[in-house]
């Protein structure tokens, strides 16, 4: 990670770069089961939801301050008993993939989850995304199930695989 810095992403500094990474993934991959690029104004609500939930947005910048990738998590499901579970995502700019940035971001995100008392991290990954699956498995995530043919993109049915990492936190979970 020579010349690279881990940062907490903020709207003013990073919204445009995150949007660019999202939109490239929407248009050219099955990392997001979405069809149309997101408009710039969508980032306002995205960042507000992260802030309101106390969810991290962790990035890696190069020496010039350009965002190379980011990772975050958010609500897994809306019901209260899921409060110790999150669904995460990690995205690396197309020009910087295959250099270990995804692993760096995920390690930082896992550490943030532990500090926040998260118990279960869940990633929904296109079942054909061998790179993301390998990354998750190397970090201790286990396959928790696959939902066949739940997405349709690029003229084909897509299977969604769920990978889960159970953490030792929180120390004292409570109902309510």
Question: Residue 2 has what pLDDT?
Answer: 66
Helix (H) or strand (E) holding 67: strand 67-75
The token pair that represents 77 in the structure block: 């499901």
Question: Residue 176 has what pLDDT?
Answer: 82
Residues near 38 by Cβ (< 8 Å), separated by ≥ 6? Answer: 19, 22, 23, 26
Indicate the Cα dihedral angle 132, 138, 143, 149, nearest 10°.
10
Query: What digits encode the pLDDT tens for the residues 138-175?
Result: 999 999 999 999 999 999 999 999 999 999 999 999 99
Question: Residue 3 has what pLDDT?
Answer: 85
* pLDDT over 90 percentage in the chain: 97
Query: What digits encode the pLDDT tens for the residues 63-100?
Result: 999 999 999 999 999 999 999 999 999 999 999 998 99
Sign of the alpha-carbon torsion through 107, 108, 109, 113:
positive
pLDDT higher than threshold 60 for residue 128: yes
Averaged pLDDT score across all residues of the chain:
96
Question: Residue 1 has what pLDDT?
Answer: 55
């Amino acid at each position: 990670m020579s010349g690279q810095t881990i940062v907490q992403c903020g709207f003013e500094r990073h919204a445009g770069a995150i949007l660019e990474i999202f939109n490239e993934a929407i248009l050219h991959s099955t990392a997001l089961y979405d069809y149309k690029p997101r408009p710039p104004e969508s980032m306002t609500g995205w960042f507000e939801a992260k802030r309101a939930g106390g969810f991290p947005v962790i990035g890696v910048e190069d020496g010039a301050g350009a965002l190379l990738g980011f990772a975050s998590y958010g609500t897994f499901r809306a019901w209260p008993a899921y409060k110790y579970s999150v669904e995460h995502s990690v995205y690396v700019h197309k020009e910087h993939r295959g250099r270990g940035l995804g692993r760096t971001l995920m390690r930082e995100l896992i550490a943030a989850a532990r500090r926040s008392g998260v118990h279960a991290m869940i990633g929904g990954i296109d079942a054909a995304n061998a790179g993301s699956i390998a990354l998750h498995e190397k970090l201790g995530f286990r396959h928790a199930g696959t939902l066949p043919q739940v997405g349709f993109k690029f003229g084909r049915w897509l299977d969604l695989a769920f990978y889960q990492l159970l953490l030792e936190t929180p120390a004292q979970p409570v109902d309510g």
